Structure 1
Amino acid sequence: MTVQVDNVNRTAQVDAVNKRILGMQTVVVTGVSSGIGKSIALLMVKSGWRVFGSVRKDVDAQALQAELGEAFVPLVFDVADDAAVIAASVAVRARLAGRTLDGLVNNAGIALSDPLLVQTVANFRKQIEVNLVGMFAVTRAFAPLLGADPALTGPKGRIVNMSSVGGRIGPPFLGAYAAAKHGVEGFSDSLRRELQLVGIDVVIIGPGSVATPIWDKSEAVPSAHLAGTIWERPFRAFTDYMIKDGRKVLAPERIGEVVRTALTTAKPRARYAPVPGKLLNWILPTTLPRRVVDRLIGRQLGLMKGPETANGRQQ
């Protein structure tokens, strides 16, 4: 009899949990293993949302599940794997049980720095594939769950696309990343205008430097291939600046708060730009003539071509 009672109690507890979870607002967030993505997932769970978060490794899925609890559902897929993305959307649809998804946050991304004339085609292509094509693939797979599928019940969801300052300002040595993020800006604007027809909104978040583990990784960026080239010193100056600047700026939790606002406010802006030192890092670079910005950056990093002698060599 005791065993039967215990089984009944456990069943009742599971039913209560399932009922509560089904009543939660839901969001899919890509790239939640660390940094901004993890902060978004944590904040949305604390805000009472059910979070479906993508990671690429089972070990990360297990760790996040243990840390964030029952309101977090790990999805193991790479945004560059079309079949895996579609499979994840099918799994989320089953969990939603006929209701719409409230939000999709396209956060997953990578940055591989190098001078453009030295960077391999493979590394350039990888950044476009992950940061832009992957965002398109995820959006296309999950858009029906946000309300593009009229068979689902519930309010229309929102799409939040993570861009960057690099989506408006192209820094040296991050050309592939900037190209992808410029693409994210155009993709998002076009998508928002198209989705007016179905009532799904699209919001861009374009943060400046954020204090994440990416800056620790930057110290290990290989640069031996630049030894003896014209790019060696400017690249090192750039890397040193990014590491120093990146560790003392926005906390990832701040970006999480902006994402929460984009998902929950009644009338979100089309674009949010949480940028530290906004005058120097955003307002001036986007309002000054581009040639002026070229010279300022060139002097700062040693990218200005020096005076030449008669035989063409720099003095």
Structure 2
Amino acid sequence: MGAVYLYSLRSLDSEEAMKTAVVTGVSTGIGRQIAETLVTQGYMVFGSVRSQRDATRVTKEIGKNFKALVFDVTREDEVLASVKTVKKYLGNRKLDALVNNAGIAVIGSVQGLTSEEFKHQFDVNLMGVFHCVQAYADLLGADQEREGQSGKIINISSVSGKTGMPFMSAYNMSKFGLEGFSEALRREFQFYGIDVAVIAPGPVKTPIWEKFDPEGLTKRHSNSPMREPLQRMLAYSDAMSDKGCSPARIADCVVDILSNRKEGARYTIDTTAGQQRILSILPTRMGDRMIGSQLGLRRK
């Protein structure tokens, strides 16, 4: 997918040094809001997008103290190439933050999804994080010859990383995996002084749900006995998204973590947390029956 979008960057002297952050997936939604908020907080932000067109647009819209990096998180070579731009700016200093936000949602029944769709969900939401962590670990502090305090990694997960739902098996798999990866990484990277935190939003008013075609999805399931339950799930998701939290709340949480106002390992931001609370209290099988009844999945 394209080369890194290079700029004329200079390394700053220590007295001029700004806080620095790499944020993935900043073209829209949560990532865009995180990038904008960090810039207002005095950060130099490097944000990833997947096209030169988006790089030009987002750079113009955010303005000063933002530099776009063009890479696809699923392409390890592109992620590694992006490090050169950030490294040039940092000089011998450490990177303060890596925010792994880039993600997609693949929706559909297990029988209705292709192997390629399932794998793509995994590649973006989990392997993409792995690529970025591995590529930027040295700048964050794994290279202990670098100056300054070790940086932090913030992984944007989801309440779907703890609760499985029908027709979201691929997305659940990727977010459950991200939760486990984050916990293991946090414990492993203690060695370098690199902290790892997870933000797990519930429904968010964000374009991630606009990146799939609900009509096409319903059409693909037109001959499936699960067609009506799928339609109910899509309607429920739309209703929850309308009531969801704003990306600004997630961006504010990122700022609080980076400024040490929050020192926990995981933060849930969910404006529609009622069902999640109920499911956490109920016996598992009772939760299964409740969800099955709501969506019409109970065998008659």
TM bracket, shorter-chain basis: over 0.9
Q: Does structure 2 conserve the Cα–Cα contact (< 8 Å) formed by 1:79 and 1:134?
A: yes
SS where residue 132 of structure 2 aligns? helix
Structure 2 Cα separation of the partners of residues 81 and 22 of structure 1:
34
Task: From 204, 227, 235, give the equivalent of 1:232.
Answer: 227
The aligned counterpart of 2:125 is 131
Read off the aligned partner of 1:268 and give its amino acid letter: E
- Residue identity over aligned pairs, in percent, reads 41
Judged with a 3 Å threshold, the aligned counterparts in structure 2 of structure 1 residues 210 and 67 are, in CA distance, closer, same or farther, namely same
1:11-65: per-residue Cα shift (whole Å, max 9, x none)? xxx9999669951100000000000000100100011111000000111111111
The aligned counterpart of 2:181 is 187
Task: From 149, 156, 168, give the equivalent of 1:162.
Answer: 156
Read off the aligned partner of 2:147 and give its amino acid letter: T
Q: Does structure 2 conserve the Cα–Cα contact (< 8 Å) formed by 1:52 and 1:72?
A: yes
Q: How many residues align?
A: 292
In structure 1, list runs of 5 or more residues that go unmatched: 1-13, 307-315
- Whose RCO is larger (CA < 8 A, sep 6+)? 2
Instruction: Please tell me the root mean square deviation across aligned C-alpha atoms, in Å.
Output: 2.0
In structure 2, list runs of 5 or more residues that go unmatched: 1-7
Report which stretch shifted further, 215-224 or 241-250.
Answer: 215-224
SS where residue 53 of structure 1 aligns? strand
Displacement of 1:297 in angstroms is: 0.8
The aligned counterpart of 2:245 is 250
The aligned counterpart of 2:43 is 49
Asked if 1:120 corresponds to 2:122, the answer is: no
Asked if 1:271 corresponds to 2:266, the answer is: yes
TM-score by length of 1: 0.88
Task: From 267, 277, 286, give the equivalent of 1:292.
Answer: 286
Structure 2 Cα separation of the partners of residues 175 and 16 of structure 1:
45
Alignment of structure 1 residues 30-49 onto 2, 5 Å: 30-49=24-43
Q: Does structure 2 conserve the Cα–Cα contact (< 8 Å) formed by 1:218 and 1:243?
A: no
Structure 1 Cα separation of the partners of residues 215 and 95 of structure 2:
39
Task: From 66, 77, 83, give the equivalent of 1:72.
Answer: 66
Task: From 169, 191, 197, give the equivalent of 1:203.
Answer: 197
1:136-192: per-residue Cα shift (whole Å, max 9, x none)? 110010011011101211111000011101100011111011001000010000000
Q: Does structure 2 conserve the Cα–Cα contact (< 8 Å) formed by 1:212 and 1:247?
A: no
SS where residue 141 of structure 1 aligns? helix
The aligned counterpart of 2:75 is 81
Judged with a 3 Å threshold, the aligned counterparts in structure 2 of structure 1 residues 302 and 81 are, in CA distance, closer, same or farther, namely same
TM-score by length of 2: 0.92
Q: Does structure 2 conserve the Cα–Cα contact (< 8 Å) formed by 1:25 and 1:48?
A: yes
Read off the aligned partner of 1:274 and give its amino acid letter: I
Displacement of 1:281 in angstroms is: 3.4
Q: Does structure 2 conserve the Cα–Cα contact (< 8 Å) formed by 1:219 and 1:239?
A: no
Judged with a 3 Å threshold, the aligned counterparts in structure 2 of structure 1 residues 154 and 19 are, in CA distance, closer, same or farther, namely closer
The aligned counterpart of 2:21 is 27
Structure 1 Cα separation of the partners of residues 244 and 172 of structure 2:
20
Q: Does structure 1 conserve the Cα–Cα contact (< 8 Å) formed by 2:104 and 2:121?
A: yes
Judged with a 3 Å threshold, the aligned counterparts in structure 2 of structure 1 residues 220 and 115 are, in CA distance, closer, same or farther, namely closer
Displacement of 1:287 in angstroms is: 2.7
Read off the aligned partner of 1:166 and give its amino acid letter: S
Q: Does structure 2 conserve the Cα–Cα contact (< 8 Å) formed by 1:29 and 1:51?
A: yes
Structure 2 Cα separation of the partners of residues 15 and 54 of structure 1:
17
Report which stretch shifted further, 265-274 or 128-137.
Answer: 265-274
Structure 1 Cα separation of the partners of residues 11 and 193 of structure 2:
31
Structure 2 Cα separation of the partners of residues 185 and 146 of structure 1:
20
Structure 2 Cα separation of the partners of residues 88 and 299 of structure 1:
48
The aligned counterpart of 2:84 is 90
Structure 2 Cα separation of the partners of residues 204 and 246 of structure 1:
21
Judged with a 3 Å threshold, the aligned counterparts in structure 2 of structure 1 residues 114 and 23 are, in CA distance, closer, same or farther, namely same
